Amino acid sequence: MNDTLSLTFAALADPTRRGMIARLAQGPATVKELAEPFKISLPAISKHLKVLEHAGLIERGREAQWRPAQLQAAPLKDAAQWLEGYRENWEASLDRLEEYLRKLQAENKS
């Protein structure tokens, strides 16, 4: 799986990783800070971070012995743009459905 969009969606498929992304949206965090809300081991947290890093969703720096993670928004923007085309299609379909239902209601009142 090499394409960026597939990597992004695969990384976001896990609720733990989505939680980490939500936390990183507030600013950089250490592994310990990211692990805090989850009841999983630190090695499991590290594996999740590697998946996010491989997908380009986070970047990990170096500050002394700390390796804070920071959100990288570009892959999320690409995913949002891809979904946007479908959103427009869904809205058009819902608009047509709404018009059809109005027409049925008008016919039933007659």
At 38-90, the pLDDT tens digits run 999 999 999 999 999 999 999 998 766 677 999 999 999 999 999 998 888 88
pLDDT confidence of residue 2:
54
**Structural domains for the chain:** 4-109 (1.10.10.10)
In this predicted model, what pLDDT tens digit does every residue of 89-106 receive, in sequence order? 889 899 899 999 999 998
d(CA 4, CA 26): 23
Q: What is the pTM of this model?
A: 0.77
Output 64 or 26, whichever has higher pLDDT: 26
